[in-house]
């Protein structure tokens, strides 16, 4: 699921050299993190002083708006790597120092939003008629003025000060919520007997302490159990532990945060935080999101009823109990059983065809053929260029030899590391004052099974899809074409940002591309065609119930942000919503929202995954008809979507790309909803 985490603004190095562009270096000590953050702040402050010193009558778009955009672009390049270490550095002292840097960044951004002189400078540019600016330049200025309005610049001075305090409190509380998830210590201890039925090779790689196996909450541990363990009590234990992460303490932190957000929205004149957040998204308002769900939910539910009947029957057959009911921790297990029984798709067999290196090389080849670029590996020194020996580092070079950007891949779990899969846009593309181009830098953080002495890293098909998803974000960051940091790559409306990433998932389902990215780890044979056909047939299995779960997350998140006071029992709301939107009964003593990381950063915006999937499916259809490796289709997509970043509205971009208005047809077909068999034929 997750995410795409974006650093909104971007870049700089402590020392700007006149030589080739290079990614920010990894700090070596906690003190260096603080020092580098401070240098970034000092440099940004100095740039802003220069902007403010320009006389009123000489103010232009270039010396004010572009200069501010560049300042923010270089500020992120200066500071994003040190902040990013909070999620990836193997040393806890470094992670702690990096969180301090992140806090400093947030506080600086809050102050920037309160800088009245800067606001007035922008207003002066807006009112001046002595120069002509184009659409994109106008858009940048409008966005900056909108940011100022949203940070309270239109309020009287005393209220502005109050709002600034509130925003600092919001940032602090947000960080507390995130840290509790990231540092959650949950371990489930189980006996060898409880693991019966799990593959020996998997059991051998678990931590064994004095006879007990210690199971963490990372995906490579929990997904195989939920998918494969015949021991329902073990699945329940793991599922419950997962839904209790963060603890009740983090639920209280969340409820405090919702109250603060409601105060913020009220001060700024919005009915609730959901309208405040959605004003700047494609949806525009909470109401549009509710309408979106209203159209989809009846269709999803029709399919969910069928899914539920099928899975319940599978459980009754397997347990010889005619009254057995389906529990949440049964869902993945019986899905897997049915895949094996009806479609002969055994996840453990499929996995053998997806060694990580083969998937990576295939992904690179697809990208190279579609977009005419090259991925060139670089040798990084641990502790200077890269933060851990597992990290891989690459240049992206365009067909004409121009360096487009750089990216890192950090693919295996380790203690203290960010526990999901995400892409960080560390550095945005922006034209620097001396005319050079700052090149984008991306980082992919995943948690795939690590290789062992006798086994390579083997990805499930889901993990292969996740890899493509995150790389889809990476392409958005790296293939940016514009000159403004604000609109670089993923600087699009938040509910469009998951469209390029979800679109790229289609390449792990295509018979045209699977031979490139699959190869049995022993025989090197590509994924057999008949197995792929069965996987495609099985693709819509459970799609109704799975999408209802997504609706549950989306509507719970939205509901949390619809209350004008933000005064909510989040556990009760979550349970009520579960009963209303899914086929499951709520489970006592669970509080999934305590570790629902999207509630920070994506607040009132979880719906964006399904929303942007509608567009992802619509966009992918063009490749499906022209060819999944068709370079002209790639060039058109690169030019009209990836390269554009946020320089125009997503609605306009979609029209440019599609040559028509977007619609829901491809999405509905992809769920197997209408008619149920069409999906297999179109993939």
| Residues marked as catalytic | 470
Using the minimum distance from each CB to Zn ion, give the nearer residue, 333 or 606: 606
Long-range CB pairs of 165-168 (<8 Å, 24+ gap) are 166/260, 166/263, 166/264, 166/267, 167/110, 167/113, 167/264, 168/107, 168/110
CB of 573 to Zn ion, least distance (A): 25
Minimum gap (Å) between residue 473 Cβ and Zn ion: 6
Q: Which is nearer to Zn ion, 69 or 505 (CB)?
A: 505
Q: Provide, rounded to whole angstroms, the least separation between the CB of residue 248 and Zn ion.
A: 29
77/15 Cα distance (integer angstroms): 11
By CB under 5 A, tell whether 4 contacts Zn ion. Answer: yes
Q: In whole angstroms, what separates CA 332 from the centre of its chain?
A: 23
CA distance linking residue 429 with residue 442, whole number of Å: 11
Closest CA to 653 of 440, 644, 312: 644
Question: What span, in angstroms and rounded, lies between the C-alpha atoms of 648 and 491?
Answer: 10
Residues 387-406 interacting with Zn ion (rule: CB under 5 A): none
- Secondary structure (3-state) at 492: coil
Q: What would you measure as the largest C-alpha separation in the chain, in angstroms?
A: 84
| Contact range with Zn ion by CB under 5 A, out of 1-9, 293-301, 360-368, 575-583 | 1-9
Which region among 214-222, 282-290, 500-508, 543-551 touches Zn ion (by CB under 5 A)? 500-508
Q: Which is nearer to Zn ion, 410 or 498 (CB)?
A: 498
Which CA distances in Å does 535 have to 210, 303, 508, 561? 41, 19, 11, 38
In 3D space, the residue among 354, 409, 301 whose CA is nearest the CA of residue 519 turns out to be 354
Nearest residue to Zn ion, scored by beta-carbon proximity: 4
> 353 or 424, CB closer to Zn ion?
424
Number of residues that bind Zn ion (CB under 5 A): 3
Q: 60: which 2 tokens?
A: 């232009």
Nearest approach in angstroms of CB 474 to Zn ion is 10
As measured in angstroms, the least distance from the Cβ of 553 to Zn ion is: 14
468 is a contact residue toward Zn ion (CB under 5 A): no
Please say which residue, 238 or 411, places its beta carbon nearer to Zn ion: 411
Q: In the block, which residue shows the tokens 């998937």? A: 359
User: What angle, 0 to 180 degrees and rounded to 10, lies between the N-to-C axes of helices 67-88 and 92-113?
Assistant: 150
Task: Please report, as residue ranges, which positions from 577 to 596 form the binding site for Zn ion (by CB under 5 A).
Answer: none
* Residue 377 neighbours by CB distance under 10 Å: 10
Interface residue with Zn ion among 283, 501, 581, 640 (CB under 5 A) is: 501
3-state SS class at 646? coil
Q: How far is the CB of 639 from Zn ion (least distance, A)?
A: 22
Is residue 477 within the footprint of Zn ion (CB under 5 A)? no
Q: How far apart are CA 63 and CA 663, in angstroms?
A: 42
Binding range to Zn ion, per CB under 5 A, among 268-276, 346-354, 410-418, 501-509: 501-509
Residue with Cβ nearer Zn ion (4 or 615): 4
Residues near Zn ion (CB under 5 A) are: 4, 498, 501
């Amino acid at each position: 699921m997750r995410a795409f985490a974006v650093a909104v603004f971007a870049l700089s190095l402590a020392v700007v050299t006149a030589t080739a562009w290079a990614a920010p270096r990894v700090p070596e000590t906690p003190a260096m993190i603080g020092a580098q953050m401070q240098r970034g702040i000092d440099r940004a402050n100095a740039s802003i002083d220069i902007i403010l010193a320009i006389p009123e009558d000489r103010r232009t778009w270039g010396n004010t708006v572009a200069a501010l955009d560049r300042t923010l672009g270089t500020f992120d390049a200066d500071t994003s790597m040190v902040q990013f270490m909070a999620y990836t550095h193997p040393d806890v002292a470094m992670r702690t120092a990096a969180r301090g840097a992140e806090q400093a960044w947030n506080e600086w951004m809050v102050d920037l939003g309160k800088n009245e002189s800067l606001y007035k400078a922008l207003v002066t540019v807006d009112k001046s008629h002595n120069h002509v600016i184009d659409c994109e330049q106008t858009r940048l200025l409008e966005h900056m003025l909108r940011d100022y309005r949203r940070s309270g610049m239109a309020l009287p001075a005393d209220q502005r000060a109050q709002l600034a305090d509130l925003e600092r409190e919001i940032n602090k509380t947000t960080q507390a919520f995130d840290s509790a998830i990231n540092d959650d210590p949950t371990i489930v201890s189980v006996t060898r007997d409880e693991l019966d039925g799990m593959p020996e090779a998997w059991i051998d790689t678990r931590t064994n302490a004095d006879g007990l196996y210690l199971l963490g909450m990372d995906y490579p541990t929990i997904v195989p159990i939920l998918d494969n363990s015949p021991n329902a009590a073990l699945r329940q234990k793991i599922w419950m532990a997962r839904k209790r992460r963060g603890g009740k303490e983090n639920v209280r932190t969340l409820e405090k945060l919702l109250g603060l957000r409601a105060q913020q929205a009220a001060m700024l004149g919005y009915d609730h935080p959901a309208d405040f957040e959605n004003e700047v998204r494609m949806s525009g308002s909470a109401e549009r999101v509710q309408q979106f769900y209203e159209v989809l939910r009846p269709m999803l539910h029709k399919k969910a009823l069928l899914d539920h009947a099928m899975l319940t029957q599978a459980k009754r057959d397997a347990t010889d109990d005619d009254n057995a009911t389906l529990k949440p921790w049964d869902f993945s297990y019986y899905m897997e059983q049915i895949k094996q029984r009806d479609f002969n798709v055994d996840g453990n067999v499929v996995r053998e065809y997806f060694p990580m290196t083969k998937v990576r090389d295939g992904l690179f080849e697809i990208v190279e053929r579609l977009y005419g670029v090259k991925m060139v590996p670089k040798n990084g020194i641990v502790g200077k260029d890269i933060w851990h020996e597992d990290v891989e580092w690459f240049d992206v070079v365009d067909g004409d030899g121009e360096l487009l950007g750089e990216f890192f891949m950090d693919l295996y779990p380790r203690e203290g590391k960010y526990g999901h899969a995400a892409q960080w846009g560390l550095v945005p593309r922006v034209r620097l004052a001396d005319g050079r181009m700052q090149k984008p830098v991306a980082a992919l953080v995943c948690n795939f099974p690590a290789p062992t002495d006798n086994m390579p890293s083997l990805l499930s098909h889901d993990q292969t899809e996740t890899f493509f998803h995150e790389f889809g974000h990476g392409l958005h960051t790296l293939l940016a074409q514009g000159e403004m940091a604000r609109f670089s790559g993923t600087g699009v409306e938040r509910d469009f940002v998951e469209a390029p990433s979800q679109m790229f998932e289609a390449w792990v389902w295509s018979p045209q591309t699977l031979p490139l990215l699959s190869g049995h780890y022993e025989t090197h044979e590509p994924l057999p065609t008949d197995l792929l056909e069965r996987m495609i047939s099985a693709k819509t299995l459970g799609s109704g119930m799975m999408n209802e779960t997504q609706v549950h997350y989306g509507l719970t998140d939205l509901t949390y942000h619809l209350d004008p006071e933000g005064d909510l029992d989040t556990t009760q709301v979550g349970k009520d919503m579960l009963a209303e939107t899914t086929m499951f009964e709520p489970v006592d003593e669970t509080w999934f929202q305590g570790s629902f990381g999207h509630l920070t950063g994506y607040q009132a915006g979880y719906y964006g995954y399904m929303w942007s999937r509608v567009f992802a499916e619509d966009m992918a259809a063009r490749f499906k008809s022209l060819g999944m490796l068709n370079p002209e289709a790639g060039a058109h997509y690169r030019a009209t979507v990836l390269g554009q970043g946020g320089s125009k509205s997503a609605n306009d971009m979609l029209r440019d790309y599609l040559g028509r208005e977007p619609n829901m047809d491809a999405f509905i077909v992809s769920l197997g909803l209408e008619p149920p068999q069409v999906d297999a034929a179109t993939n």
